[in-house]
Amino acid sequence: MNTSTRLIIVLTVSVSAVMVLASLVSLSQRKTTLTKATQAEVMAHGLTLQTVLEENYQRGTILDVQNLINRLGNNPGIYGILLFDEKGSVVRVSDALKTQDIQDVEEARRVITSGTHAEIERQIGEEQVYSIILPLRNGSQIIGAVEIAQPISFVKASINRAQRDIIITALLLFITIFLVVLVVTRYSLANPIDELLGGAKALGRGDLNYRVIVPQNGNEISKLATEFNRMADHLSEHREAFVREAEERLALERQLRHHERLASVGRLAAGVAHEMGAPLQVIDGRAKQLLNHPDATAEVRQRNLNIIRNQTDRITNIVRQLLTLARPYNLRIREINLKDMLTGLSELLETNAIRSGVTISVTSTPGLTAPGDPELLHQVFTNICLNAIQAMPDGGRIDIECLTQRDETEERNYAVVRIQDTGPGIPEEHFSHIFDPFFTTKDVGSGTGLGLAVSNRIIEEHSGRIEAGNRSTRGAWFAVYLPMTETTRSLPPRSAPAITSIGSGATNR
């Protein structure tokens, strides 16, 4: 229900209640007034007749009493007239009462006895009447009484007419007020509000060119409509400015992305040229040596061919890693027991670790699992651990810890694999580039610089992330975050977490 309808209803109900109350009060007052007026009229007729009859008795003149009461009885407001003798018996009645069964009334005798008038309601025939009984005197002697009766139906008819008039007047007034309120609220309130509502909806749809019609009456609605149009003008101006800024920003972003792509292509091309240039030079040199010395011994020829074969394998490995970095992954997700995977990984790296004097230990919450592709995750952890081993040629320690961690911002749980070493750490200026393709601090031929880039891509495909940093004492750490699903579980511990150590002087605890 809209505001104008509620206002019409409230005003109409309020006015109707006031009108009903006023009509009831007016009807009550009218009823009282009519009753008193009727009684006064009857009293006036009675006093007139009383005066005429008493003067007639005092003067001793002969008067046609019957004709007099008949003429007075023809008055529309008079039902009949009765004359009583000194004993209170009816001696004369007007013609209208001659056919009625007239009974003597005790009130007539009391009036004759007391000499005061009486007002009564009684039954004459089948008619309920209001009567005034007045004493008749001849000098100081009461010789009888006269009764003038008025039908109560006459009073009721007058009251009914007054009631009908009041009701009709009230209805006409109600209809008039309702129509006036309807027209005023419709044209002064409802239509302007509907116009403003339509404008608000248009602005909500993004049509900032919409303007509402401003009423010319200068009231609050007119001021509101004016301010609404002013607001729409400001919004339109701001949107145009925002569109211009957005277009400029978009053009700038396109340029930046274009430059970034060019820079990425340049870095990739430089990396490819750098990584593949060295083996190609070796291949070219060995091939020239074979061509320039056709009479070389079989041993020399075999050694050169093996070198060429090793360099082609290196190029093949670089190309394979580039394809791994670029191609989309078809993940084969299943629940992985992280402790089992990392324990098996440490055993595979045992030879490399012993050669460098590195000890590897694995700790994990028993039963901790995470969803993922086993082969790809194995590749990630292998790359990180191999980098750690290669960073500690003089020996050291790698600690691998598996645990769960709650991210309150994302409202989800992660299985975290934290790999720490005791090597020299990562220079601060290298942190922003460690996941870039072909970025490496190793000597030429010792690495392609694609391992961490591929690892980061694999973890991103698992909706996780890799974080890196330096330890407060010595060494670097990498933390791999794998999101846990509702079915991922961490079984309650049945014993203390197991620690597996492999490497130089390794022990199992």
Residue 500, pLDDT above cutoff 50: no
Most confident listed range (62-71, 250-259, 347-356, 491-500): 347-356
Distance CA 106, CA 268 (A): 135
Q: Return left, alpha or beta for 392; rule: phi > 0 is left, psi -120 to 50 is alpha, else beta.
A: beta
Q: What is the mean pLDDT of residues 10-37?
A: 80
Q: What is the DSSP string of 388-433?
A: HHHT-TT-EEEEEEEEEEEETTTTEEEEEEEEEE-SS---GGGTTT
CA atoms of 148 and 130, how far apart (whole Å): 8
C-alpha span between 88 and 107 (Å, rounded): 9
- CA 14, 19, 24, 25 torsion-angle sign: positive
Place of tokens 């750690």: 388
Place of tokens 């007047």: 169
In this predicted structure, the answer to whether residue 217 has a pLDDT above a threshold of 80 is: no
pLDDT at 423 over 50: yes
Residue 445 has pLDDT above 60, yes or no: no
Instruction: Specify the 3-state DSSP secondary structure of 123.
Output: strand
Given this model, what pLDDT does residue 62 score? 55
Q: So what's the pLDDT on residue 505?
A: 35
> 79 near 127, Cβ under 8 Å?
yes
For residue 92, the cross-strand partners are 83
What dihedral do alpha carbons 128, 130, 131, 132 form, nearest 10°? 170
Note the pLDDT of residue 477: 93
Res 214: pLDDT: 77
Which amino acid is it at 363?
A: T
Give Cα 430 to chain centroid, integer Å.
50
Q: Is the pLDDT of residue 454 over 50?
A: yes
Structure-block tokens of residue 170: 């009230």
Mean pLDDT value of segment 336-341 = 92
The three-point CA angle 483-487-489 to 5° equals 75
Q: Which residue has the higher pLDDT, 170 or 344?
A: 344
Average pLDDT of the chain to the nearest whole number? 80
Among left, alpha and beta (phi > 0; psi -120 to 50; other), residue 92 is: beta
Average pLDDT over residues 236-261: 85
Distance of CA 391 to the CA centre of its chain: 58
What per-residue string of b and e applies to 312-343 under the rule 16 or more CB within 10 Å gives b?
eebeeebeebbebeeeeeeeeeeebbbbebbb
pLDDT surpasses 60 at 274: no
Q: What is the mean pLDDT of residues 326-347?
A: 86
pLDDT at 354 over 80: yes
Decide which of 35 and 260 is more confident.
35
Q: Which of 79-93, 102-116, 439-453 has the lowest mean pLDDT?
A: 439-453
Task: Give the model's confidence band at 385: pLDDT under 50 very low, under 70 low, under 90 confident, else very high.
Answer: very high
- Candidate from 308-322, 375-389, 394-408 with smallest mean pLDDT: 308-322
Residue 310 has pLDDT above 80, yes or no: yes
Most confident of 368-377, 425-434, 437-446: 368-377
Annotated domain spans of the chain: 3-159, 208-327, 334-503
Angle at 439 between CA 437 and CA 444, to 5 degrees: 120
Q: From the CB of residue 458, how many other CB atoms can be counted at a distance below 10 Å?
A: 24
Give pLDDT, residue 421.
93
Long-range contact set of residues 222-230: C-beta below 8 Å, sequence gap at least 24: 222/192, 224/196, 225/192, 225/195, 225/196, 228/196, 228/199
Tokens of 92: 């004369």
Average pLDDT over residues 296-311: 86
Backbone angles phi, psi at 203, to 5 degrees: -65, -40
Contact 382, 360 (CB under 8 A): no
Closest CA relative to residue 398, chosen from 425, 365, 358 = 358
In this prediction, residue 372 has a pLDDT band, given cuts at 50, 70 and 90, of: very high
CA–chain centroid gap for 168, Å, is: 49
Mean pLDDT in residue range 372-401:
91
Q: Which H helix or E strand runs over 94?
A: none
Q: What is the pLDDT of residue 2?
A: 63
**What is the fold of 208-327?**
Helix Hairpins (1.10.287)
The CATH class of 3-159 is alpha beta
Residue 63: predicted pLDDT: 64
Least confident segment among 175-189, 240-254, 317-331, 409-423: 317-331
Q: What is the pLDDT of residue 378?
A: 92
- CATH of the domain spanning 334-503: 3.30.565.10
Per-residue CA distances from 437 to 14, 196, 226, 273, 320 (Å): 82, 59, 61, 13, 13
- Asked if residues 73 and 95 have their Cβ atoms less than 8 Å apart, the reply is yes
Check pLDDT > 90 for residue 5: no
Residue burial 265-301, b: 16+ Cβ < 10 Å; e: rest: eeebeebbeebbeebeebbeebeeeeeeeeeeeeeeb
pLDDT at residue number 80 = 86
Distances from the Cα of 24 to the Cα of 50, 159, 163, 432, 471, angstroms? 38, 13, 9, 91, 95
| Beta strands per DSSP E along 422-490 | 465-470, 476-483
- State mean pLDDT over 438-449: 59
With a cut of 60, say whether residue 200 has pLDDT above it: yes
pTM exceeding 0.75? no
